Amino acid sequence: MNRLILSALGVLVAPLVAETHGPIVQWYRSPSTSAALLWIEHEAVAAKPGAWAVGQAGFGYGDDDDKTVLQGMKGKYRSVFLRKSLELKSIPKDAKLLVRGYYDDGLIVYLNGKEVVRQRVEGEGNVVQRVDDHEATKWERFDVGAADGLLKAGKNVIAVECHNKGLNSSDLSVDVSLVLVAGGKRKVLLQPGSRWEYLYGAVPGDGWKMRAGEIGVDPSADLPEAQKLKFRPKGAGDWVTRESERRLFGDSGAWVHSVDLDGLQPASSYEFELEGGSKGWFQTAPTEVPDGTSFVTGGDMMHTVELLDAMNRRAGKEDPMFALLGGDLAYANGLSASRWYQWVDSWTREAVAPDGRMIPMVVAIGNHEVKGMAYAPKNPPPTSEAPYFYSLFKLPEGVSNYSLDFGKSLSLVMLDSGHTQSISSQTDWLRETLQARQGAKRTYVCYHRPAWGTGVKPDAVDVQDEWGPLFEQYGVDAVFENDHHVYKRTKPLLAGKVDESNGIPYIGDGAWGVNVRVIPAEELKKRDWLAHQAPKNHLIRVTMNADGATYDAMTAAGEIFDTFEYGYRK
């Protein structure tokens, strides 16, 4: 199990508590006879004023942008103290060190006990004489000199003080990163959004700037015990118990638990209970999808929890068979486990059908699953740069391109639009996959970066060139794209031209729960193949009828602002 590490120095720390996020239901193979249940378990130091705890930067309150909210700080405490250990193998000769800070109001930074940055504050600890007002609007850079005089090979400690101007300040924010510059190259030693030990509501004791690493979750801890999940046909029959598989959730120190349920009956309801009390139920897909069945699709899901909750709630109210989610799910950028916890919690809480049924999800990867937010269609980063996506979700053969079949009535094809796989490396697989599914009544493709967008970003020309001809050749009925934070629907396109009889509509552009973008008027003049566009948050409800599908673009309030029908292409 994960371990609580305490110093012999008698440091006051908050208790360790286990938190579970989920479960969620994922379909990644045989949706009529199987389902994967996934949940995240992590042990966290429960924060309370006056005790050291562990949390993710930024720290603060009052801005709605803090990863760790300092509850009850306003009117009671004006300061927060952070510290973190940093292991380094060596320090390059002649290297320079940059400190980057995002802070409101006053900031002090120490490296191995030595003060290197002081901004808008006089004094320190409990002897602060003055703090000047300062709003955190951007990251600020501080050149602190030669690295070898400040850092050393082995363990280093960075410590931070952030002070408000007064007890009743409306907000506080703090995050700090470190960058090493050597030989004209930059190396980030400490990322924004890292995990820190933190204290508020008290003044730390002597030597606190050198004692990081005394508390926290040990990411090298032993494999946790399996958790038990029992399930059965809803309302009847004997319970069957399964033990969870466990795998580390990226580098967070948390664990993903998963149970694959196989041998289920098609179009059947199953209820389950987790050890510890979580309950729920879901329904398998029918062997063949009947006419009139619907699903919802969209992407770019979480700038704020409020936007995410609202659209997840709408998804549940529409009572879809499943949700097809096209990437940029938690906006964690491969760095923030806590954003994934929020994303999973929201889906579990809000994406529930009117009768209480959990909505299964089918997922594709986006650039905000990846460190550096990569869109690199020719030379993408490896899968290790998207640690949370690849450790949370079950993926056939462990790759981000896969297909899912509902008998001969429906096939879904998920692709990686240049985030951890190149476009061209998937082309042969795509050709074989679509060729094998020419007998499917309906075929839909989903990926993240649009081939045919509104001009808020450049179009993915590699997708147009590599994949577009295959979509056209093998009878794809519609392509769902995301990423651009607007709504768009193209007219049916064939070889880049409008063809109302034989073309394919490209629909999307990813604005489930993000701030929408302004669509440039000059770009719209160049894109006469756009049928509809709007800067609106939305999901798309797809209703599969006998001879074609109805596509409804709707807001979180349920307003349908674009609706259209297309026949199937086969």
In what side-by-side order are the strands of the sheet with 293-298? 245-248, 255-261, 35-45, 16-26, 361-363, 323-325, 293-298, 539-544, 548-554, 560-567
Alpha carbons 97 and 180: distance in angstroms, whole number: 5
Contact at 8 Å (CB) between 118 and 74? no
Three-state secondary-structure class, residue 426: helix
pLDDT digits (tens, 9 = 90+) for 270-329: 999 998 778 999 999 999 999 999 999 999 999 999 999 999 999 999 999 999 999 999
Nearest-CA neighbor of 356 among 282, 410, 419? 282
Asked if 171 and 61 touch (Cβ cutoff 8 Å), the reply is yes
Outline where DSSP puts E strands in 379-421: 402-406, 410-414
Closest to 158 (Cα-Cα) out of 216, 84, 215, 97: 84
Q: Which residues of 557-566 are buried (b: 16+ CB within 10 A; e: fewer)?
A: eeeeebeeeb
Please report the domains of the chain, with CATH numbers, ordered by start residue: 1-44+220-286 (2.60.40.380), 53-210 (2.60.120.260), 288-567 (3.60.21.10)
Strand partners, 568: none
From the list 488, 492, 407, the residue with the least C-alpha distance to 441 is: 407
Close Cβ partners of 568 (under 8 Å, ≥ 6 residues apart): 441, 442, 475, 477, 547, 548, 549
- 308 sits in which H/E element: helix 305-317
> pLDDT 10s digit of each residue in the chain, 570 long?
233 333 333 344 455 566 899 999 999 999 999 999 999 997 655 566 778 888 888 899 988 778 788 888 999 999 999 999 888 888 998 899 999 999 999 999 999 999 999 999 998 877 888 999 999 989 999 999 999 989 999 899 999 999 999 999 999 999 999 999 998 888 889 888 888 889 988 888 888 999 876 654 444 445 678 899 999 999 998 999 999 999 989 878 789 999 999 999 999 999 999 987 789 999 999 999 999 999 999 999 999 999 999 999 999 999 999 999 999 999 999 988 889 999 999 999 999 999 999 999 999 999 999 998 879 999 999 999 999 999 999 999 899 999 999 999 999 999 999 999 999 999 999 999 999 999 999 999 999 999 999 999 999 999 999 999 999 999 999 999 999 999 999 999 999 999 999 999 999 999 999 999 999 999 999 999 999 999 999 999 999 999 999 999 999 999 999 999 999 998
